[in-house]
Structure 1
Amino acid sequence: MLGASAALAIAVSVPASGETLQQALLKAYQTNPTLTGARSNQRAVDENVPIQKAAGRPNLGASGSYSESILKPTISFTSPQRTASANAQLTVPIYAGGAVKNGVQGAKVRVEAGRANLRGTEASIFSQVVAAYMDVIRDSAIVSLNRANVGVLEVNLQATNDRFQVGDLTRTDIAQSESRLALARSDLQTAEANLIRSRENYIALVGSPPDNLETPPPLPNLPQSPDVAVQVAVADNPDILSAKKQREAAFYDVRVARAAAKPTINAFTQAGYTNYLKTLDNGGGTANSAQINKQAAAGVELNVPLYQGGRPAAQVRQNQALESQAIEREIEVERGVIAQVRAAYASWQASLQTIASSQTAVNATALSLEGVRAENSVGSRTILDILNAEQEALISRVELVSAQRNAYVAGFSLLASMGHAEADDLGLDAGVLYDPVQNYNRIKNKLLDWGGDPAPVPVATRTVDTPAQNAKVAPDTSK
């Protein structure tokens, strides 16, 4: 596929020493809010693992109180005036019917699903950036072509007026030239508006204005056939991988629900301390030992649910239905990815063919325009023939530019649907790549109840200070 990849790199002439596609992708990778927000969401998903683990860890609590008797009971002669007490209890889960183990496993699998979703978000953002990058290149070229067309039609109109003055042409010829010039100016205004929209969309995705975008490089590792593309996508597409992990997590949810009807066993120990602060009347005694009460106990607690109103069985059935939904969802996602891959491959191939056809049309219309102008000079062609030839030449050039854009975007979309359009695949600087596993390893075994991460601050850049875009384009120096 080397020839096809090279064809994708053919694009309109753009100024050198500008911004590259890799630089645009890197900016989006670092500062796009959709992508940075997805990373924050993945960190939140990571926390479900220590949350589930906490249910199987010891639970230690303490309480204390101080009371002052305002009005002593009239029938009690030994009631203390003041009391200070403290209690502590340690509970250690021994068996929870499998709820903890399966809850932890389900959380771990959802972490893997979240990482796949993060990959999918990354590929989606990159696909949008590539499309926006190519839109700016395409629309810049179309503006240049339309401006050149307006210039040519202005010269034609002036020449038509001059020939009318000497009686060589009629007012009909002038009207035809004026009409085409007015339409060309309208098309130019539309092209300029499209360019401004493309540039603003680029800013929204990348975070900065497009600066003399360079022709993108050929796309690597494009498949030889749609069957090969589908085979790779089924194995590597992040949406399919996420759906598989969600199905696995639903399996563990069923096991957690079943645990609600099983016995639980906990070991416990507790201790208490009460001090009556020398206000307990114990029949005249004043020994400190009579004013202090200590107690301690340890044991094992067994809880056997006998009947809970049918709730556990309902929860099992509910989670089984959700597992069934996850199974069907996996097939649904796989179907969608396969259709997407095949459509992207067909679009890519069609665009390559359109490039070849459009290039032939550009050459033919250029030759035709030159011939019509020569024939008009000897009186065998009319002004309308020249105007039609110029319009055909413009249309063929615009179609070529659009086909080049479509081929590149379709090729990248094909790679994205195959799961091969992420930062690792695109040669971005390895030093800046975000690794979700690093955060997971940092928090998965956290034990303390105190602490947290630093207060959140924005990672994505705002674009409110970027200037409003215009339709200025650098002059084409390729001719």
Structure 2
Amino acid sequence: MRRTGLALLAALLAAPASAITLDDAIALALAHDPSIAVADAARDAAGGRVTQARAAGLPSVGVRGSVGYGRLDPQGFFGLGGANVTPFSAQASIEQPIFTGGRVAAATAGARAGLSAAEAGRSGARAELAANVAAAYGHVLATTAMVGSWRRLLDQTSEIARQAQARFKAGEAPSTDVAQASARLAEARGGLAAAQGAVSAARARYRSLVGAEPVDLAPLPPGPAAPATLDEAITLAARNSPAIAGAEAALQAARAAARGASADRLPTVGAFAEAGRVRDQFFPDYRANAATVGVRAAWQLYSGGRVAGRITETDADTRAAEARLRAARAQVEEQVITLFEGLRTAGLVAAAAAEQASASEQARASVAHEVRVGLKPQLALLDAEREAIAAAARAAAASAERLTTAYRLAAALGG
């Protein structure tokens, strides 16, 4: 008889020569997954908004002009008659904001906060994708090995059912043996069908995330290392969590918007310099050049409540952002506690499942020997094979769950 008990675990521990590792799969997913492209684009857009906000405090230079062809008739004014003209004008100007009441500083601070939020979102998306890929990777390995185990059990069950039928026809075995063998055969077929369905779903999930077929996957790695203590994990998350970083950035953006709203009550002042030239504008052969240097100021003294309303709005937005930050910190702490303890539990469960799988395999080997020497019937071996497969499946699932939990904890910690 072939071994079917620890075959699943053996498959998870044997890597092909050119195996795709989990790190390889994550790298492929980062290059493929649309959510990462969206996060990257959001970060780039936020960087562009920072550039725009800064530009509002820098000098602006402009040139404008016009040229045309027509006829100008002063109607004898100044004794001038009509003539065909080519009116031309050109003007160059430069303006530098001197005082904006804090508008530019507030807008720049808000844009920088938006960039920080986008970077936090990008980091969180990448960590979440890594955890999802780890889960899909482990599921593919476990279900693929399960298909092989159930297929081997089906082969053995088919042979035992054939032998039972032959012995029954020869009058050497009762019909009960045939019925029991047929029942085991049906169970093996059902188990194989379920395993094949599970592996198809697992492969589809992997393919959706990674953008490639799950071929020649390497064994499960140990996964990211966890902090030594829960307190260390909570401290690390408070400092690096993308969720907290995003909430903090949103609060900074709200505060900047509030400062910008208050700045609308103040005037703006800017220095400017202009130079211009005109030809044929008012009468034929008219010529004029001009140059001006000065200061411009604007101050809206009454806005009908627009400024006051915006101040009220931004103050309320700031309070809401503060509340969301408190909520984010509480949620991240809860998540870290759950995942940290979950990882410890998953490790213990995986170790226990591996021990159970090993014991089940030893029991299967003992039963196989007893069957060979005639101490037990063939159906006893099938029962042992079935128990070994179930134990190995639990061990593989527990190992995959431990790996997934390790990646989810790393994502919560900002790793």
TM-score, normalization by structure 2: 0.86
Partner of 1:170: 174
Alignment-derived partner of residue 52 in structure 2? 51
* One-letter code aligned to 2:60: N
Match of 1:109 in 2: 113
Distance 1:385 1:253, change over 3 A: same
CA 1:193–1:79 in structure 2 vs 1: closer, same or farther (change >3 Å)? farther
- What is the CA–CA distance in structure 1 between the aligned matches of 2:372 and 2:27, rounded to whole Å? 55
Quote the residue 1:306 is aligned against.
Answer: 301
In the TM superposition, what is the alpha-carbon distance from 1:262 to its structure 2 partner?
Answer: 0.8
Deviation at 1:41, TM superposition (A): 2.4
- 219, 231, 256: which one pairs with 1:215? 219
In structure 1, what is the Cα distance between the partners aligned to 2:403 and 2:273?
69
How many residue pairs get aligned? The number is 403
- Tell me, in whole angstroms, the C-alpha distance in 1 between the residues paired with 2:68 and 2:81: 12
1:220 shift after superposition:
4.6
> Could you tell me how far 1:342 is from its partner in structure 2?
2.0
C-alpha distance 10-145 of structure 1, shift in aligned 2 (>3 A) = closer
What letter corresponds to residue 45 of structure 1 in structure 2? A
1:419 alignment partner in structure 2: 414
Residue 51 of structure 1 aligns with an amino acid whose one-letter code is: Q
Please list the CA deviations of residues 156-189 of structure 1 after superposition, one character each: whole Å capped at 9, or x if unmatched: 2123223323434333332232232123212212
Say yes or no: does 1:22 pair with 2:28: no
Deviation at 1:79, TM superposition (A): 7.7
Unaligned 5+ runs, structure 1: 1-8, 281-287, 421-479
The alignment yields a C-alpha RMSD, in angstroms, of 3.0
- CA distance, structure 1, for counterparts of residue 67 and residue 373 of structure 2: 116
Q: What is the match of residue 329 of structure 1?
A: 324
Q: Which residue of 2 aligns with 1:275?
A: 279
* CA positional deviation for 1:316: 1.4
Moved more, 222-231 or 379-388: 379-388
1:272 match: secondary structure: strand
Query: In 1, distance between residues paired with 2:314 and 2:192?
Result: 59
For structure 2, the residue ranges without an aligned partner over 5 or more in a row are: 1-8
How far, CA to CA, are the matches of 1:372 and 1:416 in structure 2?
46
Report 1:163-312 matches (<5 A).
163-276=167-280, 280=284, 291-312=286-307
Residues 104-157 of structure 1: CA deviation (Å, up to 9, x unaligned): 122223222222222112211211222222122111111122112212211221
Cα distance, 1:80–1:140 mapped onto 2, change above 3 Å: farther
Shift of the 80–68 alpha-carbon distance from structure 1 to 2, 3 Å rule, reads: farther
Per-residue deviation, residues 74-111 of structure 1 (Å, max 9, x unmatched): 68665864332223333221111100012112222322
Task: Choose which of 89, 98, 119 in structure 2 pairs with 1:85.
Answer: 89
- Which residue in the other structure is 2:41 paired with? 40
What TM-score comes out, normalization by structure 1 length?
0.75
Of all paired residues, the percent bearing the same amino acid is 28
Deviation per CA, 1:427-471, whole angstroms, max 9, x where unpaired?
A: xxxxxxxxxxxxxxxxxxxxxxxxxxxxxxxxxxxxxxxxxxxxx
AA aligned opposite 1:276: D
Please identify which structure carries the higher helix content: 2
Amino acid at match of 1:352: G
- Contact 2:103/2:263 (CA < 8 Å) preserved in 1? yes
